[in-house]
Amino acid sequence: MCDRPKILIVSRSFGVYCSEAIEILKGFSLVERRRVSTKDELKNVVKGYDGLVLGNEKLDREVLLEADKLKIVARHGVGVDNIDLDAATEKGVVVTYTPGANSDSVAEYAVALMLNLMRRINKAHEETSKGGWRRFLGFELTGKTVGIVGFGRIGRKVARKLSGFDVKILVYDPYVDREDVERQGAKPVGLEDLLRASDVVTLHVKLTGETKHLINGERLKLMRRGAFLINTSRGAVVDEEALYEALKDGKLGGAALDVFEQEPVNPDNPLLTLDNVIVSPHMANFTVEALRRMDMMNARDLELFFKGERPINVANPEVLER
């Protein structure tokens, strides 16, 4: 059919572990896959396509202006902070995403980072694999107080997965009812109180103007001496310069960071020089199961849209009301 929509896949992981998603797209559209490394490359290849499956590539106003036929963008991920949503809405482009698809993956990873950081498993592996036999004194998670900042899908699953560790859970989320938090076996508190009382603080908030540098120098000073910080949300939620000082001075016992303000992380970032920091390349969500869920959510929403029906997971629903 000459009038079949054309869909461009630039996400590197879409369809790799779920051929069914690709088959769904091929059932109603012409599908092409391109790998892009820069904004200019994306700007050059997006012309002429009706749909776009986007990974972590940045889709800003300039790129959208070049997308002459684009009607829908399916973000292969749970966040849309790499998309200029206002520009997409102005242009009448529907943006879908995959909320909740990676909640279990990220929650499990956050707990894994807590255990690794507190028991220094990465350091023990490094020493032993080199022929050493040095033991590292660690801390039990059992009996500790864990502060969860952000109590959406992931934060709730972290609380649930921690339930077997006999920990006290504090929660800060001004947008969740107190009764809702308590039903999950946690105690709702203010952010400052959470920071003062927690042995471990784990971050699970979206990056917004309100949450940028939510954990800043003043708030880091409130944390218990020797406490641990886990960040699997977005890098800019934490003031990295302030965190470096708190870790270097021994105020904090350690930090585990899966995300950074600049990604890929700058090799000169001073946090990489510290012995009490664990880092990874934004991979908390990177599991076969999560990718399959994202694939299918993207594919179904694209199929619904091009069949003239309403997609399920729309980030800018006002476009559909026009």
What are the catalytic residues?
234, 263, 282
Sign of the Cα pseudo-torsion (106, 109, 111, 117, in order): negative
Buried b (16+ CB within 10 A) or exposed e, 187-206: bbbebeebbbbbbbbbbbbe
Which run of H or E residues covers position 27?
A: none
Residue 266 is given by DSSP the state P
Q: Which residue has the tokens 């902070």?
A: 81
Q: Show Cβ contacts of residue 193 under 8 Å, excluding neighbours closer than 6 positions.
A: 170
Q: Show Cβ contacts of residue 192 under 8 Å, excluding neighbours closer than 6 positions.
A: 219, 222
> Omega of the bond prior to 264 within 30 degrees of 0, cis?
yes
Please report, as a single letter, which amino acid is at residue 194. L
Q: Which residue has the tokens 């003062």?
A: 196
Q: What is the dihedral of CA 53, 59, 65, 67, to 10 degrees?
A: -20
Q: φ, ψ for residue 126 (rounded to 5)?
A: -60, -45
Half-sphere exposure (Cβ direction) of 31: Cα atoms closer than 13 Å: 19
- Taking residue 136's Cβ as centre, other Cβ atoms within 10 Å add up to 11
What is the C-alpha separation between 242 and 229, in angstroms, rounded? Answer: 13
What is the C-alpha separation between 235 and 229, in angstroms, rounded? Answer: 12
What is the C-alpha separation between 218 and 130, in angstroms, rounded? Answer: 40
